[in-house]
Amino acid sequence: MKIALCQFNPIIGDLEGNKEKILDGYLKGVKDGVDLVMFPELAICGYPPQDLIEKQEFRDAINKASGELAQNTGKVGLLFGSIVEEFDSIGTGIYNAAILCYDGELKFVQKKTLLPNYDVFDEERYFESAKEVKVHQFKGEKLGISICEDIWNDADYWKHRRYEVDPVQRLVDKGASVLLNISASPYGYGRRVERLEMLSKLTLTDKLPLAYCCCAGAQTDLIFDGASMCYNASGELVMLGKKFAEDYFVFDTCQEYPVINEVEGTFEEEVLEALIYGLKDYASKSGFKKALVGLSGGIDSALVTYIAAEAFGAENVHVIMMPSKFSSGGSVSDSEKLISNLGISSSNVSIQPVVDSVIEQLKPLFGDKPEDVTEENIQARVRGLYLMALSNKFNYMLCTTGNKSEVAVGYATLYGDMCGALAVIADVYKTQVYDICRYINREKEIIPGEIIEKAPSAELRPDQKDQDSLPSYEVLDQILRMYLEEYKESKEISKIVGDEELVLSILKMVDRNEFKRKQAAPALRVSTKAFGYGRRFPIVQKWNRK
């Protein structure tokens, strides 16, 4: 069977636009003489549509678009993700479904069985689970069709399975001769290797070819990396779609192909590409053409500026330097080197007159209280005022510059440096920021060496350094990674780090600053556990903290 895989980039809610792209891909497959053209999960409405699903008008429009696609089909099959409704006396009656059309009609529907309800997934909120799976006879093959999570429960691969049911095994037991999976599958570094290993094991065990069609693009904080995969009946990966891009390619289950063993690059290469792709797609779908970054002379804002220049084009990026009396000479001169290297536009406006005026106006209210973090935050918030004013006036998309380490421990100021539409590197630890910047400089210096080598500082008081109030970032990131991504408890982390008091103080900082993260810009997700709705913790709580 010749199968065309169309890994495309839908826009959530753009039913007409998505429908036209599906039809274009289908007609291309027809022209190429394939038997079947397949698209990803929920292709017609985009993934994840979230509470749009609860709107009857939205569901009606989806069903109408699906019917119109079916009417445009001929002998070549069209398989795509959509929503179907079958109401009875219990449940929502709404299903995440794979629809197969040909000969001008909707011929077969396979509903999704396994509904993920962890991390960023919340499908049990909206959908019912399929009550059965069936194979469908088409052009001499028995198609075993599944949807995303349905294929992630293979008993031979997972030591611990989330679900009792294995929909793909049931399809195999019913005589499937070809496996087809339509998927969304958000990106996280390491996930593509996991797909390779899991799907290789599955196809080797079942001795069946598999076409696994993934989504591309970004939907707010979620990045979809594409990289659709096709396997032969020996469990070998033989076709791989482009990463971080739309793609179209044809897989012939009867043809022999070279085996593909490498599917993922280095952390620095992959994550940098993902962040550029995520920012570019967010801006494009939101209607932004120009970006704004507050450039401090530090490594975080330097990296975000580089990413913005790659995503928007250097001619569409503007940075503003906002020195105060505490700013070092290098904060401006190092920034100017980066501006020159990237070829972007810039402004330089001191915050000091405004800070002085605000503090003077507040003196009668502060009374004899000594200076503390309040005055530091005033500086950050004046910078936020400048940034938001420029964003409003020139319709810039403001990018925040905080990294995951700082976001975790609250080393950022609400309504100050946290202002912005998208947190570009908020899922990248500080140590990883350094690694990525060195990767950017692998052939020539783009991020000035002075920025990489200087000790990190917020420069909000004389001679301030991050390590005045935090451990070294190597130690901090080790603690944070174990706590946030590995879900280790304080005692286990303390044994590894060797300093229980330090560990408890860091974990308290993480928990205490949940209120800031609830008000933060969405963060592009590149790890297995990012801040946002994939990590849900109460703001007010007193668990496990002495």
CB atoms within 10 A of CB 313: 15
Does 2-258 match 270-462 in CATH topology?
A: no
pLDDT, averaged across the chain: 94
Radius of gyration of the chain (CA): 26
CATH architecture of 2-258: 4-Layer Sandwich (3.60)
CATH architecture of 270-462: 3-Layer(aba) Sandwich (3.40)
- Closest of 221, 197, 97, 142 to residue 533, by C-alpha: 221
pLDDT of residue 220: 95
Phi, psi at 342, each rounded to 5°? -90, -20
State how far the Cα of 442 lies from the Cα of 387, in Å rounded to an integer.
Answer: 32
Dump strand ranges (E) for 170-209. Answer: 178-182
Residues 6+ positions from 512 with CB-CB distance below 8 Å: 410
Residues 6+ positions from 64 with CB-CB distance below 8 Å: none
State how far the Cα of 527 lies from the Cα of 501, in Å rounded to an integer.
Answer: 28
pTM: 0.94
User: Rounded to the nearest 5 degrees, what angle is found at the Cα of 465, between the Cα atoms of 460 and 471?
Assistant: 130
Q: Is the separation of the CB atoms in 167 and 180 below 8 Å?
A: no
What burial class does residue 469 get, using C-beta atoms within 10 Å of its C-beta: 0-12 exposed, 13-18 middle, 19+ buried? exposed
Cis, bond preceding 40 (omega within 30 deg of 0):
no
State how far the Cα of 374 lies from the Cα of 390, in Å rounded to an integer.
Answer: 25
Q: Is the separation of the CB atoms in 317 and 354 below 8 Å?
A: no
pLDDT of residue 464: 58
State how far the Cα of 427 lies from the Cα of 311, in Å rounded to an integer.
Answer: 18
- Closest of 3, 400, 381, 454 to residue 212, by C-alpha: 3
pLDDT of residue 468: 64
Share of the chain above pLDDT 70, in %: 97
For CA atoms 480, 482, 487, 488, give the dihedral sign: negative
Secondary element (H or E) of residue 359: helix 352-366
List the catalytic residues: 41, 112, 148
Residue 46 tokens read as 């985009």
State how far the Cα of 279 lies from the Cα of 263, in Å rounded to an integer.
Answer: 23
Domain parsing of the chain, residue ranges: 2-258, 270-462
pLDDT of residue 532: 87
Query: Where do we find the tokens 């990190």?
Result: 456
- Closest of 187, 191, 188, 241 to residue 211, by C-alpha: 241
- Tens of pLDDT, residue by residue, the chain (546 residues): 999 999 999 999 999 999 999 999 999 999 999 999 999 999 999 999 999 999 999 999 999 999 999 999 999 999 999 999 988 767 789 999 999 999 999 999 999 999 999 888 999 999 999 999 999 999 999 999 999 999 998 777 777 788 888 999 999 999 999 999 999 999 999 999 999 999 999 999 999 999 999 999 999 999 999 999 999 999 999 999 999 999 999 999 999 999 999 999 999 999 999 999 999 999 999 999 999 999 999 999 999 999 999 999 999 999 999 999 888 777 899 999 999 999 999 999 999 999 999 999 999 999 999 999 999 999 999 999 999 999 999 999 999 999 999 999 999 999 999 999 999 999 999 999 999 999 999 999 999 999 999 877 666 666 656 666 789 999 999 999 999 999 999 999 999 999 999 999 999 999 999 999 999 999 999 998 999 888 888 898 887 655
State how far the Cα of 318 lies from the Cα of 305, in Å rounded to an integer.
Answer: 9
Residues 6+ positions from 228 with CB-CB distance below 8 Å: 5, 7, 211, 212, 213, 214, 239, 240, 241, 247, 249
At 269, the amino acid letter reads E
Residue 325 tokens read as 């009396």
Phi, psi at 246, each rounded to 5°? -70, 155
